[in-house]
Amino acid sequence: MFPPRPTELVHTLLRPHLHPGDTAVDATAGNGHDTLFLAKAVGNTGRVLAFDVQPQAIDATRRALHHADVKTRVDLFLESHTGIAAHLPANSAAAVIFNLGYLPGQDHDLTTEPGETLHALTAAATVLKPRGILSVVCYPGHQTGAAEARAVETHLTALASQRWRIAKYAMLGTLKPAPFLLLATKNPA
């Protein structure tokens, strides 16, 4: 499909920047698609940390990793993504992926929340190494998602003053607000 969905685009854009032995974070494990992508990209010598607050998400991710035979590369955490920095030292991750919103196929009232997401983005910025990439897929098509998308975009835009490079990829002319991708690169000090 062209143009690609934001969740596909992030994989295409990140693939050349992830290498065997890298450390990466999936801040919102969901059904495991991003975790699996990261696990394959960092190879046998790499490490992926995946976070989610829903047991169903951790179970789905565990199954996907087991099926692909990459589960030994991934540490799964049944906890909020706000705890990223407690599990990684500063300047250690090559990439951190957020795919916000709700878990597909589950309770749509249980969504990521703006305040918690902003706290997690600050933690993610700390663990990213220089030239590391932060990606966030936002879903403004529902009320909570719209508020969260605005807050995340404002938060990431402010990083530009700290020498981060920020980009937004979005569909135009859609009937309702479409998901979009925000990318941020941490520049060396």
Span 5-27, pLDDT tens digits: 999 999 999 999 999 999 999 99
Enumerate residue ranges in the chain where pLDDT < 50.
none
Q: What is the pLDDT of residue 111?
A: 67
The tokens for 101 are: 């919103």
Domain 6-185 matching CATH 3.40.50.150: the answer reads yes
> Which amino acid, one-letter code, is at 181?
L
Q: What is the pTM of this model?
A: 0.94
Rounded (10°) angle between helices 143-159 and 114-127: 30
Q: What is the pLDDT of residue 188?
A: 77
Residues in CB range of 95: below 8 A, 6 or more apart? 14, 17, 18, 22, 24, 25, 38, 128, 132, 133, 134, 135
